[in-house]
Amino acid sequence: MGYFVRVEPHVKIFVEDIHPAGKRTILFIHGWPLSNRAFEYQFNVLPAQGYRCIGIDLRGFGESDKPWDGYRLDRMADDVRAVVDALGLRDFILAGHSYGGATAIRYMARHQGHGVAKLALFAAAAPSVTRRPGFPYGQPKEAVSELIEQTYNDRPNMLFNLENTFFFQHLSKPFSDWVRQIEYAASGNATAKVAASFRDESLFADLGKIEVPTLILHGIHDKVCYPELAAAQHEGIKRSRLVWFQYSGHGLFYEERDKFNRELVKFIEDPNTHIYAEPNN
């Protein structure tokens, strides 16, 4: 069931709500430059196991409105809060991929984890996608600036080339075409401005404000958000557990989808998730 939630007077966010009578609610936030449709291989499986799956399209992406402004983490987190309040969500699992993971982290810090029981981060764009003093693990800022320039000059070609770094495993051509169709639904303006957001913004101070049990899933071959980012998240979030995906790049929710879904369900159902051992290998 799809519907829209107004988050500002002239901005509506698209929400896909699957199995509203589910036993637990998982709110998914997609990454750049995708939409909630990227979680098809979770939405095909988890509702059958009794979970309510809610996917939102961030502003500028998918079926949401595409205003000229508002493509910073604070505004994205506020949009999520508006959806949470409109739907009356409580005791839910907040799950974010890539820039959606960064948005989820900012939500936890900015809105004090309002309504969230547990947090799941996968290939999250945090604490910084780009290199900074004291944090040499990200991409050069110039590389992201080049993505932005390519977006303004030839966005289809930029997205075609992005696929080479997004996935580790071989993809069929029809699947690749499907992914790009999802990406084409974004506005070029939003694509560029969100890239500027993850180039320029960081979340070092946000990590320590997360109080809920947190699952971190990350592919060891990720060339977008490097594995060192996951290690930094695990170090910065007190109640976190890190699970590595040995055969995945940035698209682990598809590349190792069975393991991904199992780990997510295990985390949701485990009553002892506040007690964590050292990271899995």
Mean predicted confidence (pLDDT) in 250-278: 85
pLDDT at 22: 82
Residue 277 has pLDDT above 70, yes or no: no
**Whether residue 111 lies in the annotated active site:** no
Tell me the chain's radius of gyration from C-alpha atoms: 17
At 184, the pLDDT band (50, 70, 90 cuts) reads: very high
**Catalytic, out of 197, 218, 222, 248:** 222
d(CA 56, CA 64): 8
Q: What would be the CATH architecture of the domain defined by 2-269?
A: 3-Layer(aba) Sandwich (3.40)
**Whether residue 19 lies in the annotated active site:** no
pLDDT at 280: 41
**Whether residue 98 lies in the annotated active site:** yes
Mean predicted confidence (pLDDT) in 80-109: 98
Residue 100 has pLDDT above 60, yes or no: yes
d(CA 272, CA 63): 38
Q: What residue segments make up the domains of the chain, in order of their start?
A: 2-269
pLDDT at 64: 98
**Catalytic, out of 35, 64, 98, 128:** 98
Residue 87 has pLDDT above 60, yes or no: yes
At 257, the pLDDT band (50, 70, 90 cuts) reads: very high
* Per-residue pLDDT tens digits for 150-164: 999 999 999 999 988
Give the DSSP letter string of the chain: -EEEEEEETTEEEEEEEE-TT-SEEEEEE--TT--GGGGHHHHTTTGGGTEEEEEEPPTTSTTS---SS--SHHHHHHHHHHHHHHHT--SEEEEEETHHHHHHHHHHHHTTTTTEEEEEEES---S-SB-BTTBTTSB-HHHHHHHHHHHHHHHHHHHHHHHHHH-SS---HHHHHHHHHHHHTS-HHHHHHHHHHHHH---HHHHTT--S-EEEEEETT-SSS-HHHHHHHHHHSTTEEEEEETT-SS-HHHHTHHHHHHHHHHHHH-TTTTS--SPP-
Distance of CA 253 to the CA centre of its chain: 11
* Per-residue pLDDT tens digits for 46-78: 999 999 999 999 999 999 999 999 999 999 999
Find, among 214, 246, 261, 227, the residue nearest to 105 by Cα.
214
Whole-model pTM?
0.95
